[in-house]
Amino acid sequence: MNKYKILLVASIAAIIAMGLLSVSIAGKNAERDVINTSPVVKADGVESRSEVWKQHFPHQYDSWKKTSENDQIIDMLKKTPQLTILWAGYGFAKDYNAPRGHFYALQSNQNTLRTGAPVDDKTGPMPTACWACKSPDVARLIDEKGELEYFTGKWSRWGDEAVNSIGCADCHDSKTANLTISRPYLTRALEYNGVDLKTITHQDMRSLVCAQCHSEYYFKKTEWTDDDGNKKVATVVTFPWEGDLTAEEMEAYYNERFFSDWTHKISKTPMLKAQHPGYEIYKTGIHARRNVACADCHMPYKQEGAIKFSDHHIRSPLENIANTCLTCHRESEAELKEVVNRKLERKDQLNEIAMDNLAKAHLEAGKAFELGAKDGEMSSIQDDIRSAQWLWDYSIASHGSFYHAPEETLRLLSVANEKAQQARLKLVKVLAKYGAINYMAPDFSTKEKAQKLAGVPLQKLAAEKMKFKQTLLKTWTETAIANNKLDPSIREGMSDNVSYPKN
Ligand code: HEC
Ligand code: HEC
Ligand code: HEC
Ligand code: HEC
């Protein structure tokens, strides 16, 4: 196709898409009016049990419950063993799986080796912040106790309170059923970012409800004093959004604060862990620029009899192309799948190269230290490694980025790879100085080998976790049922898949 034809097709597509958008927005406004006259789920506070919402909104509930269909564990450390080296010394080297359906989010969080094996409400490696993107009970707890109290203490503190997986009250107001931002840290981040909250449109909300969780964040230590005068420290989920929403701006934000998530076990580098900047990366793509929202692709309209509603079965849009992409695009299903697959292949190729170079950079730096290299000789190498790994992680951590914003994803991967190469070039010199000419990093081609190099005692961690599941976790569930916080029927037939040995 020549340039003008492409332009013509693109503008026609845009016009059609905009037309469709305005029609669908008008439709949605009408539906919203209906919701506003609907019965109130809870007049005061937050109703975190999705089963209570079911009586009023059975279609949304039934489709929401279908997110339970994806309970599959894809062990990313097995698939890409380099990851274990990249995260040596950090929780992600223990256990990391591809995302599953929202229905399983809470269970994934309880099962992952990253949350450890607490024995009471004061032990374990993680703060309460780790529940933040898993459960509507977090919205309820923030409402009941205040945000700082919610963010104070260990993860295990709220084990018998955070008991419902991602549900209605994460995205909807319990009184009006309107879309709402239930997490105050997103509202604050938008404010730092210069967004005038009054200008947020309904179409924006169809992405912002997702941005509450599918965003980059860090845990910010915050000292505070409660009403009784007790001094406390909260670990508050905070979005680094005081600039443009780019990887480089966020890196500068962290660097200005000398922030690091952990110190790398092999290369001794102070590292950053990108979380899942899904919203931020999406914002750099063409669909966001054309005002296509997350919900347009992940929650399309669905017709059942006379009822039209948003399909709450959030999943890969490729499983439902007829109702997602094809509402705006003219290509065939096969053509669109092919387009998305090509984007994935391009990302995978660059990703492999970047991960490989980064893993080798860590191992070579580790060797240099072992041979006696001094901090002064290593600091610029560590700067390269820190920056390279941040950009690499930022580009791929949100899984869908290869599709949401392919150009930005590939750009970040290329820059990350270049920085990792720079580190390795410098390392050749340092290693030579200490007598290691032609040093070859050890083999990390399987999860077992990589975890050995990273010093992860998998069997021990798995055994401790299994004990936790048979003891404290059982007590949490029983307490929540007794306190009427959890309707046990919701968990009937739930699977319990994990990536590690169960005995
Ligand atoms: C309360 C936090 C939260 C909100 C709000 C949220 N998500 Fe998620 N989402 C998650 C978590 C956590 C996972 C991973 C769950 C797991 O692996 O167990 C996930 C997984 C997903 C997946 C993968 C599902 C699969 O089957 O592969 C998609 C797609 C997704 N979310 C899209 C969205 C969209 C679109 C929105 C907004 C309409 C949204 N999410 C809102 C936390 C959230
Ligand atoms: C991850 C966020 C998210 C969760 C969880 C969620 N919804 Fe929604 N819901 C949305 C979005 C986005 C829309 C589209 C709103 C619009 O455009 O007006 C929507 C629309 C609705 C509507 C308006 C009618 C329609 O179908 O468009 C109702 C009613 C509703 N949801 C009820 C529920 C119920 C009940 C649950 C729990 C079983 C639930 N929602 C869970 C995000 C969510
Ligand atoms: C134009 C359509 C479109 C829009 C808009 C969109 N997505 Fe996606 N999303 C996709 C496609 C296509 C994939 C890749 C699915 C696959 O690989 O099977 C995807 C993948 C994902 C995944 C990874 C799922 C997995 O299991 O690996 C998540 C999470 C996700 N999207 C969340 C979001 C969020 C949050 C937003 C808004 C900030 C959003 N998406 C906007 C189409 C879209
Ligand atoms: C609500 C409308 C809408 C939906 C739904 C939608 N798109 Fe788009 N898409 C657009 C618009 C608008 C553009 C930009 C056209 C332009 O300005 O050039 C676009 C651009 C594209 C492009 C060209 C840019 C690029 O990133 O390579 C591809 C490919 C594409 N869409 C694929 C998809 C696929 C696959 C899906 C389903 C997962 C999808 N779209 C869903 C409206 C939509």
121 within 8 A of 151, measured Cβ to Cβ? no
Q: Is 256 in a helix, a strand, or coil?
A: helix
Give one DSSP letter per residue of 329-388, joined into a string.
--S-HHHHHHHHHHHHHHHHHHHHHHHHHHHHHHHHHHHHHHTT--HHHHHHHHHHHHHH
Question: Which residues does 438 contact at the CB level (< 8 Å), separation at least 6?
Answer: none
Residue 282's CB: how many other CB atoms inside 10 A? Answer: 26
14 Cβ inside 6 Å of ligand 4: yes
Kindly report the number of other CB atoms within 10 A of residue 121's CB atom: 16
Instruction: Output the 3-class SS for 78-132.
Output: HHCCHHHHHCCCCHHHCCCECCCCHHHHHHHHHHCHHHCCCCCCCCCCCEHHHHC
315 membership: H or E segment, kind and range: none
Residue 175 tokens read as: 């009184």
Q: Encode the chain (503 residues) as per-residue pLDDT tens digits.
A: 455 555 555 565 555 555 555 545 555 554 555 544 567 999 999 999 999 999 999 999 999 999 999 999 999 999 999 999 999 999 999 999 999 999 999 999 999 999 999 999 999 999 999 999 999 999 999 999 999 999 999 999 999 999 999 999 999 999 999 999 999 999 999 999 999 999 999 999 999 999 999 999 999 999 999 999 999 999 999 999 998 899 999 999 999 999 999 999 999 999 999 999 999 999 999 999 999 999 999 999 999 999 999 999 999 999 999 999 999 999 999 999 999 999 999 999 999 999 999 999 999 999 999 999 999 999 999 999 999 999 999 999 999 999 999 999 999 999 999 999 999 999 999 999 999 999 999 999 999 999 999 999 999 999 999 999 999 999 999 999 999 999 999 999 999 999 999 97
Which residue's structure tokens are 């150009």? Answer: 407
The preferred substitution site among 60, 102, 282 for testing ligand 1, maximizing ligand atoms within 8 Å of CB, is: 102
| Most distant CA pair in the chain, distance | 77
Integer CA distances (angstroms), 26 to 19, 172, 288, 470, in order: 11, 20, 20, 51
Nearest 10 degrees: Cα torsion 7, 9, 14, 20: 170
For residue 223, which of 236, 215, 213, 233 has the smallest C-alpha distance?
233
Our mutation pick for probing the ligand 4 site, out of 9, 296, 328, counting the most ligand atoms within 8 A of Cβ, is 328
> Quick check: 75 and 497 in contact, CB under 8 A?
no
Predicted pLDDT at 16: 54
The predicted pLDDT at position 21 comes to: 52
Residue 411 to residues 261, 358, 483: CA-CA distances in angstroms? 24, 16, 51
Q: Record the tokens describing residue 188, joined without a space.
A: 């604050």
pLDDT for the residue numbered 503:
76
Asked if 172 and 64 touch (Cβ cutoff 8 Å), the reply is no
Nearest-CA residue for atom 38 of ligand 3: 279
Q: Are 230 and 346 in contact (CB under 8 A)?
A: no
Answer for the pair 166, 106: CB distance below 8 angstroms, yes or no. yes
Residue corresponding to tokens 């007794």 = 482
The verdict on the CB of residue 327 being under 6 Å from ligand 4 is: yes
Q: Which two tokens stand for residue 202?
A: 């309904």
Nearest CA to ligand 4 atom 18: 10
Cα distance between residue 314 and residue 65, in whole Å: 10
Task: Provide the pairing of β-strand 231-238 with 301-304.
Answer: unpaired
Sort strands 270-271 and 301-304 into parallel, antiparallel or unpaired: unpaired
Instruction: Establish whether residue 133 lines the binding site of ligand 2, counting it when its CB lies within 6 angstroms of any ligand atom.
Output: no
Instruction: Locate 346 and state its tokens.
Output: 């391009």
Q: Give me the residue label for tokens 């937050």.
A: 46
Q: Evaluate whether 346 touches 410 at the Cβ level (below 8 Å).
A: yes
Counting ligands in written order, the one closest to the CA of 133 is 1
Among left, alpha and beta (phi > 0; psi -120 to 50; other), residue 484 is left
Cα–Cα distance measured from residue 270 to residue 385, given in angstroms and rounded to the nearest whole number: 9
Indicate which residue's Cα is closest to atom 39 of ligand 4. Answer: 325
Could you tell me which of 166, 194, 284, 190 has the C-alpha nearest to residue 238?
190
Q: What whole-number distance in Å separates Cα of residue 395 and Cα of residue 353? A: 14
Q: Which residues sit opposite 234 in a β-bridge?
A: 152, 222
Task: List the end-to-end C-alpha distance of the chain, in Å, as a whole number.
Answer: 59
**423 CA from centroid of ligand 3 (Å):** 33
Asked whether 251 and 371 are in contact (CB, 8 A), the reply is no
**Residue 127 tokens, joined:** 């703060």
* Ligand 2 contact, 301 CB (< 6 A): no
Distance 9 CA to ligand 4 centre (A): 12
Instruction: Answer whether 294 contacts ligand 4 (Cβ < 6 A).
Output: no
